[in-house]
Amino acid sequence: MEDARTGRAWARLSLSLRFDKTSNTHTHLRSSLTPAACIPLPMAAGLGARPSATFVAGRFRPLAAPLRPVRSGKFVVPKRCFIVSSRLAWVEDELMEIQKSQEQSSVKSKKRPPLRRGKVSPQLPVPGHIPRPSYVGAKGLPELCKGQLHDAQGITGMRAACKLAARVLDFAGTLVKPSITTNEIDAAVHNMIIEAGAYPSPLGYHGFPKSICTSVNECVCHGVPDSTQLQNGDIINIDVNVFLNGYHGGTSRTFACGQVDDSIKHFLNVSHYCCVILSVIK
């Protein structure tokens, strides 16, 4: 059976030659795109070619039309027929480069195993003097508000909560590195929030046990921090929400852990630009 990979290489690297009856030489015309254009070993030898060991292996197909002798005793190559150059060392180098690139791509294509739920640590405490949202400790979900009109004081309160959430998110991003667990990120962020006199909004919302949401790789959103360790090449979305002086402020961002593929970098950059465009449109 013909080696498919080697066949592809010859499909790209076979040479088109023109036979000159006057000088009894072959002139290179252009690269051929068909492996069927290779002359079998006996014919190539008759033309003075010196095929390498790779060619002698007999993995190539004969010409569609045979060589035709003329009165002068010389062979004439039919139109649209191609033969392999007598110097094939560079072809072997190309094959080695192809094999090397395939090995590198196979290493890059190794994906992390699917996510598995890790161990969730106990809920972290919040000092009693920090105000809680109404849903904390409630059996059901809070009633949705049909609509609110905020005055200047309300807008100032929302801005303060959102600014705190943005600072906390920036801090959380500095923690993203290989081997750290999402539990550890949650604990560090929790401490920063309560030190600012705010309450972590996700904590206790309909039984949610953590202070932030961490969504790794294929986890779409609202992942629960646990003992899962981040690995080089992961992406993680961190969702931060705080309750400060009666107002919620929330934000999230996806961070790259260590070295990630160019496709992932492109994905993150495009997502960021889309958010910037939306903010400008609004």
Name the band, by pLDDT with cuts 50, 70 and 90, for residue 43: very low
Judged by average pLDDT, the poorest of 45-59, 131-145, 162-176 is 45-59
Element (H, E) at 91: helix 89-108
Predicted model pTM: 0.60
**What per-residue confidence (pLDDT) applies to 165?**
97
- Each domain of the chain, given as residue ranges in start order, spans 152-281
Judged by average pLDDT, the poorest of 145-154, 166-175, 204-213 is 145-154
**CA dist., res. 9 & res. 35, Å (int):** 9
**What per-residue confidence (pLDDT) applies to 44?**
41
DSSP state of 75: E
Q: What is the dihedral of CA 96, 99, 101, 106, to 10 degrees?
A: -160
**CA dist., res. 98 & res. 180, Å (int):** 37
Give per-residue pLDDT as tens, 88-112.
566 677 677 777 766 665 545 457 7
Q: What is the CATH number of domain 152-281?
A: 3.90.230.10
Terminal CA-CA length for the chain: 62
Residue carrying the six token digits 């496709």? 263
Confidence check: pLDDT of 6 > 90: no
